[in-house]
Amino acid sequence: MLQVKHVSFGYSETKILKAIDFKVKAGENLAVIGESGSGKSTLLKLIYGEYDLNKGQIFWNDEEILGPKYNLVIGYDFMKYVSQEFDLMPFTSVEDNIGKYLSRFYPEEKEKRTAELIKVVELEAFAKTKVKLLSGGQKQRVAIARALAKEPEILLLDEPFSHIDNFKKQSLRRSVFKHLKENNIACIVATHDKNDVLGFADEMIVLHHSKIIAKNTPQHLYNNPELPLIASFFSEFNVIEPFGIVYAHQLKIVEQSDLKADVKASYFNGNSWLIEVDFNSESIFIENENEIQKNSTIYFKTEN
Ligand code: ADP
Ligand code: MG
């Protein structure tokens, strides 16, 4: 189990993280979300032991994670970290980049394990390709496979799918997170993409103004967002008195109601359209099956 106990940290006098407390059990998937600059990457780096804490302690089981002041070599065998800037060996093939970390294995076993990891990140067609010839997204996948090579007990992933195109993203996420669950590897995923979280994270924490402002399951936070910042992570939303935070899909256009608005614009959204309306001189967003002509008057109600 990872224990982050009352951690505070700043690169300078200004604290980036204050009084951070949470735990991650073996095999558990924790998502860390927050706006850009909220300290997600910093938190992962602290857990990895890249910096000395100002206050607090971090443990993996009984072992305290120590920063560079107390630890000459950064990193531990039981923990791997895939940073936002993955550094690979450019002039070496994909399989050699991964295999390099498997020197203690017998050749046959090493080959089998390398092939398995290449499959997890769906790079079978590029096994023999030099890394320097790969796209950003492909490199990111090699970095993930390499981090998994030594079977860590805990994996830290910093925006792991950010460079990967939409064609591949969903299937790759499923493949990587399934591999982690099957092998009981704990992971902490820093992300601003809800698709990295919904369906995969057991718990999520929300960082804001240096603090954890919410910690719960994705289902709970989705259904009870409490703050606009949390709702905005999941979906298009509105704040309408007296209802509070209401997602666009929780509003419905109806024949008649007390809530009247004028259509300003319609945006195609795939499954539906997002209709922007003027309601009491404020813009609100309503999901609707069809486009609605600009300047039409509509009525709407909240679901349930
Ligand atoms: P996130 O990953 O959530 O975008 P970061 O952890 O990268 O946020 O950054 C949090 C804050 O710390 C930002 O204000 C950023 O500018 C600052 N910061 C990040 N890395 C460093 C560094 N090496 N030195 C000084 N300040 C940094
Ligand atoms: Mg970051």
User: What are the chain's domains?
Assistant: 2-223 (3.40.50.300), 235-302 (2.40.50.140)
Q: Tell me what pLDDT residue 165 has.
A: 86
Q: What is the number of the ligand 1 atom nearest to the C-alpha of 35?
A: 3
pLDDT of residue 102: 83
Question: How far is the CA of 237 from the CAs of 151, 246, 249, in angstroms?
Answer: 41, 6, 8
Atom of ligand 1 nearest to the CA of 159: 2
191 CB within 6 A, ligand 1:
no
Cα-only R_g, the chain: 23
Gap between the Cα atoms of 200 and 182, Å rounded: 13
Separation of 16 CA from ligand 1 center, angstroms?
8
The response to whether residue 37 sits with its C-beta less than 6 Å from ligand 1 reads yes
CA–CA dist 7, 272 (Å, integer) = 44
Query: What is the reported pLDDT for 178?
Result: 97
> How much distance in Å is there from the Cα of 39 to the middle of ligand 1?
6
Q: What's the 89 CA to ligand 1 centre distance in angstroms? A: 26
Pocket test for ligand 1, best of 11, 51, 205, 209 (most atoms within 8 A of CB): 11
Closest atom of ligand 1 to 207 CA is 3
pLDDT at 93: 95
264 Cβ contact list (under 8 Å, min separation 6)? 276, 277, 278, 283, 294
Give this prediction's pTM.
0.93
In this prediction, residue 133 carries a pLDDT of 95
Q: What is the pLDDT of residue 304?
A: 66
Q: For atom 16 of ligand 1, which residue has the closest CA?
A: 37
In a structure prediction context, what are the per-residue pLDDT tens digits for the chain, which is 304 residues long?
999 999 999 999 999 999 999 999 999 999 999 999 999 999 999 999 999 999 999 999 999 999 999 988 888 999 999 987 777 899 999 999 998 888 777 888 889 999 999 999 999 999 999 999 999 899 999 999 999 998 899 999 999 998 888 888 999 999 999 999 999 999 999 999 999 999 999 999 999 999 999 999 999 999 999 999 999 999 999 999 889 999 999 999 999 999 999 999 999 999 999 999 999 999 999 999 999 999 999 999 998 6
Per-residue tokens: 4: 């982050």
